[in-house]
Structure 1
Amino acid sequence: MSYYDLGPFGRTITTSSPEAQTWFDRGLTWVYAFNHEEAIQCFQKALEHDPDCAMAHWGVAYAAGPNYNVPWELMDPNGKAKALAAAFDATKRAVACAARATAVERALIGALPVRFPQRDPLPKDESPGMAAWDKAYTRAMRDIFASHKGDLDVRCLFVDAIMNETPWQMWNLETGQPTEGAATLEAMAVLDEAFETDAASWDHPGLLHLYVHLIEMSPFPQKALRAGDRLRELVPDSGHLVHMPTHIDVQCGNYRDVVYWNQKAVVADRKFVERNGVMNFYSLYRIHNHHFVIYGAMFLGQYTPAMEAAQELIDTTPEALLRIPSPPMADFLEPFISMKQHVLIRFGKWREIIAQELPEDRDLYCSTTAMMLYAKGVAHSVLGEIAEAEKAREAFRAAKARVPDTRLVHNNTVEDLLDIAAEMLSGELEYRRGKFDIAFAHLRRAVELSDALPYDEPWGWMQPPRHALGALLLEQGHLEEAEAVYRSDLGYDGKLARAYQHPENVWSLHGLHECLTRRGDNVEAPLIKARLDLAQARTEVPIRASCLCRRQAA
């Protein structure tokens, strides 16, 4: 079986073995594509051909260490110990082999001992702990960059070091400014300089990848559109890099590209599964692509691709994978199985929701169980089956209490997501009881909780609570508040941070247009209608309200 098509990227290193060079290039590409397990295997293959290749040892150390998605603090104790031991041992070997390396290679290798200064992890409660190692490594890389600014890999590794000090905290979403203590502007300046002055930077998967991550939380995600467009097809068999530009697409309302390119990423990753199976950490990245397809398709109003992706996500996440204890795969992956419930609610599949059977193992599938009970409660509420809805809510509350605080949907805890679910369900139930003020209070609280979630892309809560709030406000004739709700969701009023907006989504466009029409607006309504018509041109289902929990059609 031929190896993956990783494109032409590479870096010439000190080795007499062409095979070692080839495997190093593959490993470095995988590092930049965030497939660190496969990268380590490639670097080890390089060492089979050249045991004294200093940069291959460097690669093992680098790939074994922390990264933007898995910093030290997210590693479980066993995983952290294994990662540090591997990185420390490889660092020693790299240093031992560095004599015949080039000056820049020796510099990169020389930065490793400050990143991995000992073989055993520091206690978790020791301050500043292993974060001090990250800072020391960044200082070392800053010095190396000052002497080797023309080296794009050095530039990339320096920016990576900066971003790993404050992963997913590069921007304050509320202020639109860099997070206090984050060297965001320095990282952006280093990357911008490369793209403005060196054409080769547009062929560098690491620089392009980091730029997307750096800019996605900013007030100007469109700044990374061109980088994303270049990255999409640069490394054809890296599903993660095929997918990565859609972090920007979704922020810009390009939902069709979100679906299309994540479907392409899913196809690319099937090659990885054929060779490597699913029992690996990269499964988290694969499932991330399915998650994105679901999210984009829901905003497009396309049930079929959303449900197909939700089902394939379930099918590609076997129980055996969830039972891997280190890293704790159930904590990382099981909550994604519940995404199917969001699809069913989004498209009003109330009877299908009610007919679902709960998982047999409700401890392993605790997040899924809670979300299914939430969905059943909403479905019964919408159908006016109040007694059944109350029973479902009680069962949901009990299931919610059994979900451990370690369960995650990437950057969001399941606990936080289920807090939103609790408010949404109570809002739907009280609404059907005719207690509208109480219902709207719950739904407004759901909006507040959703707006307070740590940044994630896509959001773990898949249907913006504003869509239900706006739909039910409209149903009761509260046009002014409903209009404000939709304007915020679309980003038209500037009140929501950029990352919390959902530009040009068909659901809120429909709601806003209805508000304008019902209050007799003849100026803005035609403009919104044009945008709505464009969005509706791709929908698979008729859009009659911003949430199908609204029983009275517009």
Structure 2
Amino acid sequence: MSSSPPPSEPYFDIGKFHREISTTSPEAQIWFDRALVWIHGFHGDEAAHCAENALLWDPTSAISLWAMLAALSPNYAKSWAVMGPMKNSTMEVWMKNKDEMLRLAENAPPVEAGLCKALIHRFPPDTPETEEDWDFAALNHAYAEAMGHVYDQFPDDLDVASLYADSLLCLSPWKLWDLGTGEPLPGSQAVRTKQVLDKAYATPEGKRHPGILHLYIHLMEMSGTPENAVPAGDKLHGLIPDASHLNHMPSHIYVLVGDYRRAISANSRALFDDELYVSKGKPSLWYNILRLHNMHSLVYAAMSSGNWEDARDNLKLVETDTVEDLARTMPNVLEGFLGTWAHVYVRFGRWDEILAKPLRDDPEFYSCSTSMHRYARGIALAAQNRVREADIELEEMKRTMAKIPKGRLMFPNEAIDVLQVGEAMLEGEIEYRRGNFQAAFEHLREAMKRYDGLVYGEPWSWMMPVRHAYAALQLQQGHIEEALKTYEDDLGYSSTLALAHQHPNNVWALHGYHECVTRLGLKKQAQMVYPHLRLALAVADVPITSSCFCRLNIQKANGTAANGVPNGCCQ
């Protein structure tokens, strides 16, 4: 009798997902179904655990052994390149089990045998001795080609379609579409991936398949039409009730279309699922990375909607000892998360709290997060007209940035590229306080250029849009038309910016836009935007009186009540 727990014992709620496999063991079937749904949800650890249990009930199941090994292999969110020390442990498991998988596959049905044989191409024949010996591109292309052959044989199999789509996306992760034109980038298989997913999604079953819905969001989020994935996101949310990553995924699209409330809701549910999973045992390194991503995404959506409490309260995960320890294990991926708080506190103008927060003792190791801390201190001091002290923080920021090692990320960007946005912003804020307005705006325009030049990430690696500060200060100097144009660009009312650089419906730019058109006497525009602004202000939990708390005397803005709600649509 197997030592695996019987499937009848309480388990996570993963809905009714099922794929019939070649086994005579009902218990193995249940554990395999669980493994496969976690594979589609990029939860490799739990998928491998379930597959191991399936094998205990049926050691002859080739497809269960495939599931165990596929669970540990790369996917679109976890490429070979970012796996770090996990590569060697994965290779150890692979080398021990690959021959047995192929042996069992000889007696498996064609589709199961095909998946087993394709997986051989996902891994190198032997464990590379050094990092330089890994040829990630060759592995990705070989696996995609092998999965293409399986898909050609079984084009109506939704699981095969999902696995094939993932293999295609892995050929150019996060580089699928040109953000400016919306056209596929050279080397991208975006068009082929869309053909595969569209065919699957056209079926009733495809509209309920976690892998198809999940990957459709990843495919479309960088495209010129991310809104086309909103229905997929709506269908995915709650489909697999306890699958954290799948419940988080719709937020990628919701943020892009300006539905920040639903983005907060999706990530809140994901974090609830995370707490449930963590309560059952110790999460792995990679699971903790996904937890941080959920936190990061929720905080970003809360910042965009003016929700200080949601943003502040959800920083608690990144401030735990667990994350500190993980940052030591995988600093190039995780250390940058430790500076998230600075984005939040600057966004909400918490100047005294920023200045009260102690600096870390090891700025050389914590070079990225310490640079963010110096930036936040500089902005806070400049906002309080303590320019000489702000200058010192700018120099300390530059000195710390010089210590950042190559490969240190503020995911998915190099940390130095992200921090250079903040460097230019701080230079602009300091010059503004000196009264050097022309120099200040030149620095802020440079910051905008750097912001727009970042590699696509969800959320954006620099979490406060630079245009919010630039337009607020332009407006304060009476450059109302220039400020209006900047707000129009940020909100997506013009076609100047790529979709990824727009922030539809965000309360900060809505307020600025409304103030501009009101002061210019453009009553029609004021009337049109007013309902959107009132809703956004009702959702925010702080008074919004400017698009940036760096603007001086914002409480004296004409026509604004104490709670930030304009006294009428178009005075």
TM-based fold match above 0.5: yes
CA distance in 2, matches of 1:224, 1:19: 36
Instruction: Write the mapping of 1:212-251 to structure 2, written as runs, cut at 5 A.
Output: 212-251=217-256
Distance 1:316-1:239 versus aligned 2 partners, 3 A rule: farther
Distance 1:279-1:138 versus aligned 2 partners, 3 A rule: closer
Could you tell me whether the CA contact under 8 Å between 1:88 and 1:117 is conserved in 2?
Answer: no
1:34 aligns with 2:42: yes
1:9 aligns with 2:10: no
Alpha-carbon offset, residue 9 of structure 1? 0.9
Q: How big is each residue's C-alpha offset from its partner over 1:202-223, in whole Å with a ceiling of 9 and x where there is no partner?
A: 2211111000100111111111
1:336 aligns with 2:317: no
CA distance in 1, matches of 2:447, 2:322: 30
1:65 aligns with 2:66: no
Alpha-carbon offset, residue 323 of structure 1? 2.5
CA distance in 1, matches of 2:81, 2:303: 33
One-letter amino acid of the counterpart of residue 391, structure 2: E
Structure 1 residue matching 2:318: 3-state secondary structure = helix
Give the aligned partner of residue 396 of structure 1: 397
1:105 aligns with 2:112: yes
Could you tell me whether the CA contact under 8 Å between 2:333 and 2:409 is conserved in 1?
Answer: yes
1:436 aligns with 2:437: yes
Instruction: Write the mapping of 1:307-386 to structure 2, written as runs, cut at 5 A.
Output: 307-315=312-320, 317-324=322-329, 328=330, 330-386=331-387
Give the aligned partner of residue 185 of structure 1: 191
Q: Structure 2 regions of 5+ residues with no counterpart? A: 1-8, 558-571
One-letter amino acid of the counterpart of residue 520, structure 1: G
Alpha-carbon offset, residue 316 of structure 1? 6.8
Distance 1:409-1:535 versus aligned 2 partners, 3 A rule: same
Q: 1:84 aligns with which of 67, 75, 91?
A: 91
Structure 2 residue matching 1:420: 3-state secondary structure = helix
Distance 1:156-1:72 versus aligned 2 partners, 3 A rule: same
CA distance in 2, matches of 1:248, 1:114: 32
CA distance in 2, matches of 1:354, 1:147: 63
Could you tell me whether the CA contact under 8 Å between 2:378 and 2:426 is conserved in 1?
Answer: yes
Report how many residues are paired. 547
CA distance in 2, matches of 1:144, 1:424: 51
Instruction: Write the mapping of 1:505-516 to structure 2, written as runs, cut at 5 A.
Output: 505-516=506-517
Instruction: Write the mapping of 1:361-510 to structure 2, written as runs, cut at 5 A.
Output: 361-510=362-511
CA distance in 1, matches of 2:403, 2:526: 48
One-letter amino acid of the counterpart of residue 463, structure 1: M
Percent sequence identity over matched residues?
A: 41
Instruction: Write the mapping of 1:225-304 to structure 2, written as runs, cut at 5 A.
Output: 225-304=230-309
One-letter amino acid of the counterpart of residue 162, structure 1: L
Greater alpha carbon shift after TM alignment, 141-150 vs 245-254: 141-150
Could you tell me whether the CA contact under 8 Å between 1:489 and 1:501 is conserved in 2?
Answer: yes
Could you tell me whether the CA contact under 8 Å between 1:88 and 1:116 is conserved in 2?
Answer: no
Structure 2 residue matching 1:415: 3-state secondary structure = helix
One-letter amino acid of the counterpart of residue 23, structure 2: T
Greater alpha carbon shift after TM alignment, 98-107 vs 130-139: 130-139
CA distance in 1, matches of 2:391, 2:410: 27
> Pairwise CA RMSD of aligned residues?
1.7
Q: Structure 1 regions of 5+ residues with no counterpart? A: none
Could you tell me whether the CA contact under 8 Å between 2:317 and 2:323 is conserved in 1?
Answer: no
Structure 1 residue matching 2:418: 3-state secondary structure = helix
Alpha-carbon offset, residue 391 of structure 1? 1.5
Alpha-carbon offset, residue 39 of structure 1? 1.5
Alpha-carbon offset, residue 356 of structure 1? 0.9
Could you tell me whether the CA contact under 8 Å between 1:64 and 1:84 is conserved in 2?
Answer: no
Structure 2 residue matching 1:59: 3-state secondary structure = helix
Give the aligned partner of residue 128 of structure 2: 121
Give the aligned partner of residue 100 of structure 2: 93
One-letter amino acid of the counterpart of residue 512, structure 2: G
Could you tell me whether the CA contact under 8 Å between 2:25 and 2:57 is conserved in 1?
Answer: yes
CA distance in 2, matches of 1:276, 1:402: 37
Q: 1:45 aligns with which of 36, 40, 53?
A: 53
Alpha-carbon offset, residue 122 of structure 1? 7.8
Alpha-carbon offset, residue 304 of structure 1? 0.7
Give the aligned partner of residue 165 of structure 1: 171
Could you tell me whether the CA contact under 8 Å between 1:346 and 1:463 is conserved in 2?
Answer: yes
CA distance in 1, matches of 2:347, 2:393: 19
CA distance in 2, matches of 1:130, 1:89: 21
Could you tell me whether the CA contact under 8 Å between 1:311 and 1:340 is conserved in 2?
Answer: no
One-letter amino acid of the counterpart of residue 231, structure 2: R
* TM-score, reference length from structure 2: 0.92
Alpha-carbon offset, residue 138 of structure 1? 1.5
Structure 1 residue matching 2:246: 3-state secondary structure = helix
Greater alpha carbon shift after TM alignment, 244-253 vs 170-179: 170-179
Structure 2 residue matching 1:313: 3-state secondary structure = coil
Q: How big is each residue's C-alpha offset from its partner over 1:47-80, in whole Å with a ceiling of 9 and x where there is no partner?
A: 222222101111122122221122222233x432
CA distance in 2, matches of 1:88, 1:238: 29
CA distance in 2, matches of 1:52, 1:459: 46
Give the aligned partner of residue 161 of structure 2: 155
Alpha-carbon offset, residue 358 of structure 1? 0.9
Could you tell me whether the CA contact under 8 Å between 2:255 and 2:301 is conserved in 1?
Answer: yes
CA distance in 1, matches of 2:117, 2:397: 54
Could you tell me whether the CA contact under 8 Å between 1:15 and 1:53 is conserved in 2?
Answer: yes
CA distance in 1, matches of 2:98, 2:17: 24
CA distance in 2, matches of 1:322, 1:132: 30
CA distance in 2, matches of 1:176, 1:346: 30
Distance 1:311-1:82 versus aligned 2 partners, 3 A rule: closer
CA distance in 2, matches of 1:343, 1:115: 40
Distance 1:212-1:9 versus aligned 2 partners, 3 A rule: same
CA distance in 1, matches of 2:130, 2:288: 29
Greater alpha carbon shift after TM alignment, 277-286 vs 114-123: 114-123
CA distance in 1, matches of 2:166, 2:101: 20
Greater alpha carbon shift after TM alignment, 58-67 vs 455-464: 58-67
Could you tell me whether the CA contact under 8 Å between 2:181 and 2:224 is conserved in 1?
Answer: no
Alpha-carbon offset, residue 320 of structure 1? 2.4
Structure 1 residue matching 2:174: 3-state secondary structure = coil
Greater alpha carbon shift after TM alignment, 522-531 vs 83-92: 83-92
Greater alpha carbon shift after TM alignment, 330-339 vs 150-159: 330-339
Could you tell me whether the CA contact under 8 Å between 2:74 and 2:80 is conserved in 1?
Answer: yes
Alpha-carbon offset, residue 414 of structure 1? 1.5
Give the aligned partner of residue 26 of structure 2: 18
CA distance in 1, matches of 2:528, 2:321: 43
Structure 1 residue matching 2:53: 3-state secondary structure = helix
